[in-house]
């Protein structure tokens, strides 16, 4: 079973969805650490209730991104974390973590990327008057929501509906899709490691759905 860290900055509904999926046996992962850059965020309370270890930090207390990412990296190594899932983490990941976890950092974003990257993606789509938006899960690179797409699911925008209704439908999709995609990724990683262990050769796998 893979050891997974979740990075979050806000209320933590996607964090909760991952924890719940793991408890139900639907996600083959041990949620080993929550990393949060906002002391007082609601997600910290959720982690406490779920007995998930937490590393909370204030970026302003560090001289640079490299400095606080080095501290995060130490915490990840202490908890033997193998994969990272971003779940409403409102900071770009820098070279320190990208190099240490290459190909093993995943993010969820509430739009059909490349449309509406960055903050307030639901509001961006709503105000743009498009007929649909959705949810994207992608690998993380140095850009803002620019990494390779793993999975997407469309969500129609109903004419005249309040934005709160659209947000609720998008969140429902997020809470279903994220655990499912992580289950696929972690399961394929386990299978690949087993093949390497058994025959000493690495077989490439397609991790897209």
Whether the predicted pLDDT of 202 surpasses 50:
no
Instruction: Count how many domains the chain has.
Output: 1
- pLDDT at position 116: 98
Contacts of 142 (CB under 8 A, 6+ apart): 92, 93, 94, 95, 98
Strands 105-109 and 83-86 turn out to be parallel
Residues 6+ apart with CB under 8 A from 30: 1, 2, 3, 4, 22
The answer on pLDDT for 162 being more than 50 is yes
Please name which of 141, 124, 146 lies closest in space to residue 133, comparing C-alpha atoms. 124
Contact (CB, 8 A) for 136 and 108? yes
- Which residues participate in the annotated binding site for (6R)-10-formyltetrahydrofolate? 65, 90-93, 107
User: pLDDT per residue over 75-132, tens digit each?
Assistant: 999 999 999 999 999 999 999 999 999 999 999 999 999 999 999 999 999 999 999 9
Q: What distance in Å separates the CA atoms of residue 136 and residue 150, rounded to the nearest whole number?
A: 8
Catalytic residue annotation? 109
Binding residues: 12-14, 65, 90-93, 107
Query: In which domain, by residue range, is 59 found?
Result: 2-206
191 has a pLDDT exceeding 90: no
Q: Sorting pLDDT into bands at 50, 70 and 90, what band is 188?
A: confident
Q: What is the CATH number of the domain that holds 186?
A: 3.40.50.170
Give pLDDT, residue 193: 63
């Amino acid at each position: 079973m893979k050891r997974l860290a979740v990075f979050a900055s806000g209320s933590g509904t996607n964090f909760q969805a991952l924890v719940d999926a793991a408890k139900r046996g639907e996600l083959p992962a041990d949620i080993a650490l929550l990393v949060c850059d906002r002391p007082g965020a609601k997600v910290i309370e959720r982690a406490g209730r779920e007995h998930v270890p937490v590393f909370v930090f204030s970026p302003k207390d560090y001289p640079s991104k490299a400095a606080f990412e080095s501290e995060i990296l130490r915490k990840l190594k202490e908890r033997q974390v193998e994969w990272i899932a971003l779940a409403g983490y409102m900071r770009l990941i820098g070279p320190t973590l990208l190099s240490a976890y290459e190909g093993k950092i995943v993010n969820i974003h509430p739009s059909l990327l490349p449309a509406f990257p960055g903050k307030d993606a639901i509001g961006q789509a709503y105000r743009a008057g498009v007929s649909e938006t959705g949810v994207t899960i992608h690998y993380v690179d140095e850009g803002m929501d620019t990494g390779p797409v793993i999975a997407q699911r469309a969500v129609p925008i109903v004419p005249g509906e309040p934005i709160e209704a659209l947000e609720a439908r998008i969140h429902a999709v997020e809470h279903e899709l994220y655990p499912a995609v992580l289950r696929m990724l972690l399961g394929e990683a386990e299978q690949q490691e087993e093949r390497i262990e058994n025959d000493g050769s690495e077989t490439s796998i397609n991790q897209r759905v």
